[in-house]
Structure 1
Amino acid sequence: MVVEVRTYTIKPTPLMPNSPHVLIHYPGLLRSKIENPSFNPADLYDLYASNGWESQWVARYGPTQPSHYHSAAHEAMTVISGEGATLRFGVADTSDDDEEHTHGKGYEDGGVEVQARKGDVFILPAGVAHKTYDPKPDAPSLAFHQCKDENGVVIRDPAKARKFFEGIELGEHFQMMGSYPFENDWDFAVGGQHRGRERQVWAVPKPKRDPVLGESTEGLCGLWKEKPTLSKL
Structure 2
Amino acid sequence: METVKTVVAPANGGIPNHPRWPALLEADACPGGESQLRDVFADNGWGGMWTWSVFDYHHYHPASHEVLGVAAGHAELHLGGPDGEIVKISKGDVLVLPAGFGHKLLSASEDFRVVGAYPPGQERPDILRAFDCGLDEVLKSIAAVPRPASDPAQGRDGPLAQHWN
TM above 0.5, yes or no, is: yes
Higher strand content, 1 or 2: 2
Cα deviation 1:26-65 (Å, max 9, x = unaligned): 112212x23xxxxxx343222111111014211146xx61
Match of 1:117? 90
Letter in 2 for 1:77: L
Q: Residue 212 in 1 paired to residue 150 in 2?
A: no
> Where does residue 75 of structure 1 map in the other structure?
66
Q: Is residue 27–residue 119 contact of structure 1 (8 Å, CA) maintained in 2? A: yes
User: How far does the alpha carbon of each residue in 1:135-171 deviate from its partner, in whole angstroms, 9 at most, with x for none?
Assistant: 113xxxxxxxxxxxxxxxxxxxxxxxxxxxxxxxxxx
Distance 1:121 1:194, change over 3 A: farther
Contact kept, 8 Å, 1:17 with 1:194, in 2: the verdict is: no
The equivalent of 1:221 in structure 2 is: 161
- TM-aligned CA deviation for residue 133 of structure 1: 2.4
Question: Which aligned runs of 4 or more in structure 1 are off by greater than 3 angstroms?
Answer: none
Q: Secondary structure at the match of 1:126?
A: coil
Distance in structure 1 (CA, Å) of the matches to 2:114 and 2:47: 14
1:129 matches 2:96: no
Give the structure 2 partner of residue 58 of structure 1: 51
Tell me how far apart the structure 2 counterparts of residues 14 and 68 of structure 1 sit (CA, whole Å).
Answer: 11
Tell me if 1:186 matches 2:159: no
Q: Which runs of 5+ in 1 are unaligned?
A: 35-40, 92-107, 138-172, 226-233
- Pick closer, same or farther for the CA change 1:54–1:194 going to 2, 3 Å: farther
Opposite residue 51 of structure 2, the aligned amino acid is V
How many correspondences in the alignment?
Answer: 161
Matched with 1:46 is: 39
CA RMSD in angstroms comes to: 1.7
| Alpha carbons 1:65, 1:132 under 8 Å: kept | yes
- TM-score, with structure 1 as normaliser: 0.65
Separation in 2, partners of 1:51, 1:4: 19
Residue 133 of structure 1 aligns with an amino acid whose one-letter code is L
What percentage of aligned pairs have identical amino acids? 30
Name the CA distance, whole Å, in 2 between partners of 1:182 and 1:46: 15
* SS of aligned partner of 1:222: helix
Distance (whole Å) between structure 1 residues aligned to residue 134 and residue 89 of structure 2: 28
Q: Give the deviation of 1:111 after TM superposition.
A: 0.5
Equivalent-residue separation in structure 2 for 1:194 and 1:127 (angstroms): 13
Whichever of the two has the greater Rg, that structure is: 1
1:219: how far off?
Answer: 0.9
Q: Which residue of 2 aligns with 1:170?
A: none
What secondary structure, in the 3-state scheme, does the structure 2 residue paired with 1:5 have?
A: strand
